[in-house]
Structure formats: C-alpha cells, structure tokens
A = this chain, B = another copy of it.
C-alpha cells in the first residue's frame, strides 16, 4: 500500500461533508495521506467524476486507494463496491463512476460485511458511513474478500466514443477546465491510427476551423482558437491568454471533427 487515499466527490467544500469523511478515515488509519482530486463535481454528474478518475489515477503510486462518491442512489438498493485492479484500489457506489478505471484485471466486490462500516449506517450519507471506513480498512491491508462478495456485473457507463468515417474523426467536447480549455474525446492514438504523421490537419468546432495540433500553448498567437494534444493525451482546443469556452461559445457535448487539409 502507498498510504495514500484520494477523494473525489460532488460534496463541494462549503459544507463539512468532506472533512467528516476524513475524520472517519483517520480514526481508522491515522497516518493515511489524503489527497483531494475534486469535490466540485457537478452534483450527481457521475460521468464527470469517472473522467476525472480516469485521467488522475495513473499518476498515483501503486497501492493507492481511490474513494469516489457521487451517489444519487444512496439509500436505494444500489450496491456499494470495492475494487482491486493490478495497481490500485477503488471504493464507490455501483453506478458507473468507476467506468474509466475498471479493466480486465479488476476484481470487483459488492460490500456486505457491516463490520467494516460505521456502527449506524444512515440512508443518506454512505460516504461517511460505508465508503470512508471501507477505504481506510483497505489502506490498512484488509483483503477485499473479507468485505463482500465477488461480482462480475458492475454498472458501466457508455462514454461517448469517437467515430471514424471517410478520413474524418468525429468526437465532442467532454470536459472544460478552469482556463476554458476544451478537452475532447479524440485521443492521441486515434489521430496516430488514422492520419499520417506529416498530414496537415484541421479541427472544426462550431463554425470555426483551426489548424491541427501545436505542441504547446505558447506557440499560438494570443486570443485565437488553437489546439494541441494535452497532458492527458487528448485533443484539446484552447485560446492562448483567453478562454476557448467563451471565444468559441462551446460547451460539453459540442461536436468536434478532425480532418486532413487538402
């Protein structure tokens, strides 16, 4: 174990919910290193949390535990999961939030052993009563097989995929960051598999055409739409010293295409 537990929620940081979960964790595993990924997930936006986990987990040391709670179904009969991948552990409701990190190596358990929960489990705050204590017990080395039953049918979200058609990649904006940069679902490998490295590429978004990937933000003139392959290996549309979100009037879901210039 790395000693690290990461936290991803839609709880915000105005209310003390995240601090309460940390209190519960540290009561069980006093030396855990707690790392916040984001608590500003849009309320109940499971897909957004899944995308953040997918892009963040690879940077954590082997043996980290990742706690993710966006949980509109709390108190219903949705299952609670603990997962072991080759390198990482996950604790989350069974609603698709782990869609980006589950793979062929994943051992998925439905949590059932209340010995590892808080004594009284509320119907409204499983982050505190189930997921926080379970993540702490995992960090302390408790085998997942003691905590629940192996399952093979976790909920998986369908994440919008790129379409390849007549030398055109058709994707969409899937996330917008603080700087107004537009991340798409077009990956570096999609581009490498479909175009020759020396191709002149054009990105179309809304009614704008943008010359294909630069290698850094600072290469673009100020205030003009431009694109590059970003640090998460996806095609990102940006505006140097400005906001592509505002300049291009784009939002999550806006279509983006990539074609070859002739």
- Distance, CA A15 to CA B231, complexed state (A): 13
- Distance, CA A56 to CA B22, complexed state (A): 11
Q: Check A125 for interface membership: any CB of B closer than 8 A.
A: yes
- Interfacial chain B residues near A52, Cβ < 8 Å: 15-16
A interface, by DSSP: helix, strand, loop or mixed? loop
- Interfacial chain B residues near A201, Cβ < 8 Å: none
List residues 224-255 of chain A with CB under 8 A from any CB of chain B.
228, 230-231, 236, 241
**Residue in B60, B75, B122, B219 whose beta carbon sits within 8 Å of that of A218 in the complex:** B75
B40 near A19 (CB under 8 angstroms)?
no
- Distance, CA A216 to CA B78, complexed state (A): 12
B30 near A3 (CB under 8 angstroms)?
yes
A15 near B177 (CB under 8 angstroms)?
yes
- Distance, CA A6 to CA B18, complexed state (A): 12
Q: Check A168 for interface membership: any CB of B closer than 8 A.
A: no
Provide the A64-97 mask, 1 if CB < 8 A to any CB of B, else 0. 1000000011111000000000000000000000
Q: Work out how many copies of this chain go into the complex.
A: 3
Quick one: which of A33, A122, A231, A241 has the most chain B CB within 10 A? A231
Q: Check A23 for interface membership: any CB of B closer than 8 A.
A: yes
Q: Check A155 for interface membership: any CB of B closer than 8 A.
A: no
- Interfacial chain B residues near A15, Cβ < 8 Å: 38, 52, 177-178
Separation in Å of the A223 CB from the closest CB of chain B? 13
Q: Check A195 for interface membership: any CB of B closer than 8 A.
A: no
Q: Check A35 for interface membership: any CB of B closer than 8 A.
A: yes
**Residue in B11, B36, B124 whose beta carbon sits within 8 Å of that of A13 in the complex:** B36
B38 near A217 (CB under 8 angstroms)?
no
Q: Check A149 for interface membership: any CB of B closer than 8 A.
A: no
A23 near B36 (CB under 8 angstroms)?
no
Selected A-B contacts with CB under 8 Å, 24 pairs: A2-B27, A2-B30, A13-B13, A13-B39, A13-B40, A15-B52, A16-B52, A19-B35, A19-B37, A22-B35, A23-B35, A23-B59, A23-B61, A23-B64, A26-B35, A26-B61, A27-B60, A30-B33, A31-B33, A74-B216, A76-B219, A124-B230, A125-B231, A128-B231
13 other A-B residue contacts (CB within 8 Å) besides A12-B178, A26-B33, A123-B216: A2-B26, A2-B30, A13-B40, A14-B40, A17-B177, A20-B55, A20-B59, A26-B61, A30-B61, A72-B241, A122-B231, A125-B230, A125-B231
